[in-house]
């Protein structure tokens, strides 16, 4: 990723005071037009104070697709629901297995054999009734490209590398934010492609007292200094997943970064944890070609 720092945004300064600056309307008004309702202000008060009203308004306008409702998917769903997105669609065509009832807290006991997403629906909705939660029990592999364009954010878990690359290309082409991740015991990964992403960052500096005040003790002059917070506009360019996986480590700069790179990354650079490609037999021609630059992932291949 390349991060470029932009210009300061004049007039946007932090300050004291207990007010959050929340604009509210009566609870029955629907909260349209970017104005937050009283009910939402009470529900999201703490996070509005943390990241601001504008960020919360963008969250409540976001439509999210979450693929894969195993343990990681349940945790992602919980955090999105509590944060207050507009709508969440949980997509999973698999049935509930015994291990799901132990690792996936949104699935009630006695749900064996049911669809994982459908079994998670009731508890997910209970987390935050303000969020529109839907279920899709179809196989992601059967979805047309246009299906993914109906969302602002797409998050894939428990998917094959082939599926990750396919969906990310669709999202990148249509300017849909893309996230991917998975966990394997104590190991896990995540990937984000937000395209060309702009944001603001707080810069704090201590403004000195005016030059005209020279007399008096040092302690008195120090108290006259004050802190000024300015918002600086920044820009980040995210790379494609295929570029991250195809990164060459032959250059000196890349080799210097090896010490800071988790070994798990090289498993993903190979065939991937959910690859369906057959493994090379020892001593085969395929293995001899792949050995210099790839590492075979040691995990079995679940159904996609």
217 pLDDT higher than 50 = yes
**What mean pLDDT is reported for the chain?**
78
CATH for 62-194 (3.10.330.20, 3.40.50.2000, 1.10.10.10, 3.40.50.720): 3.40.50.720
Q: Where are the alpha helices (DSSP H) in the chain?
A: 38-43, 45-51, 53-59, 71-83, 100-103, 116-127, 161-173, 218-223, 241-245, 252-256, 264-269, 285-290
pLDDT of residue 2: 38
Q: What is the pLDDT of residues 163-211, one digit of tens each?
A: 999 999 999 999 999 999 999 888 889 999 999 988 888 888 877 665 5
Q: What is the pLDDT of residue 79?
A: 96
Q: What residues does each domain of the chain span? A: 62-194, 251-304
Q: What is the pLDDT of residue 285?
A: 36
At 24, the pLDDT band (50, 70, 90 cuts) reads very low
**Which 3 state secondary structure label does DSSP give 184?**
strand
- Helix (H/G/I), strand (E/B), else coil: 254: helix
130-174 per-position pLDDT tens digit = 999 999 999 999 999 999 999 999 999 999 999 999 999 999 999
C-alpha torsion 7→12→18→21, nearest 10:
-120
Whether pLDDT at 5 is above 90: no
Where does residue 283 fall: left (phi above 0), alpha (psi -120 to 50 degrees), or beta otherwise? left
Q: What is the mean pLDDT of residues 94-102?
A: 93
Nearest to 166 by CA among 153, 180, 152: 180
Question: What pLDDT score does 267 carry?
Answer: 76
Per residue in 245-304, pLDDT tens? 888 888 888 888 888 888 778 777 765 555 544 333 333 333 333 332 322 233 333 443
Given a cut of 70, whether residue 57 has pLDDT beyond it is yes
The percent of residues above 70 in pLDDT, for the chain, comes to 71
| Angle ∠(249,252,255) on CA atoms, nearest 5 | 45
Instruction: Pick 154 or 109 by higher pLDDT.
Output: 154
* Orientation of helix 116-127 relative to helix 71-83, angle to 10°: 30
């Amino acid at each position: 990723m390349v991060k470029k720092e932009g210009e300061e945004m004049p007039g946007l300064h932090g300050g004291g005071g207990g007010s959050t600056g929340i604009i509210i309307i009566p609870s029955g008004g629907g909260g349209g037009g970017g104005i937050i309702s009283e009910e939402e202000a009470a529900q999201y008060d703490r996070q509005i104070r943390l990241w601001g009203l504008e960020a919360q308004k963008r969250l409540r306008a976001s439509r999210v697709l979450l693929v894969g409702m195993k343990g990681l998917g349940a945790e992602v769903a919980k955090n999105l629901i509590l944060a207050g997105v507009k709508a969440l669609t949980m997509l999973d065509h698999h049935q509930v297995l015994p291990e799901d009832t132990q690792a996936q807290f949104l699935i009630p006991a006695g749900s064996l054999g049911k669809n994982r997403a459908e079994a998670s629906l009731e508890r997910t909705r209970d987390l935050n009734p303000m969020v529109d939660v839907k279920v899709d029990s179809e196989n992601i592999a059967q979805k047309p490209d246009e299906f993914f364009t109906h969302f602002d954010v797409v998050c894939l878990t428990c998917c094959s590398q082939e599926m990750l690359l396919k969906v990310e290309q669709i999202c990148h082409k249509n300017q849909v934010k893309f996230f991917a991740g998975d966990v394997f015991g104590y190991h896990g990964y995540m990937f984000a492609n937000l395209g060309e992403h702009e944001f603001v960052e707080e810069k704090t500096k201590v403004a000195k007292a005016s030059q005209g005040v020279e007399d008096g003790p040092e302690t008195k002059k120090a108290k006259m200094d004050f802190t000024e917070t300015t918002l600086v506009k920044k820009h980040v360019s995210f790379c494609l997943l295929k570029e991250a996986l195809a990164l060459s480590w032959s250059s000196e700069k890349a080799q210097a970064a090896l010490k800071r790179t988790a070994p798990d990354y090289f498993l993903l650079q190979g065939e991937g944890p959910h690859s369906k490609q057959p493994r090379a037999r020892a001593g085969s021609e395929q293995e001899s070609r792949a050995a210099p630059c790839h590492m075979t992932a040691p995990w079995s291949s679940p159904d996609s």
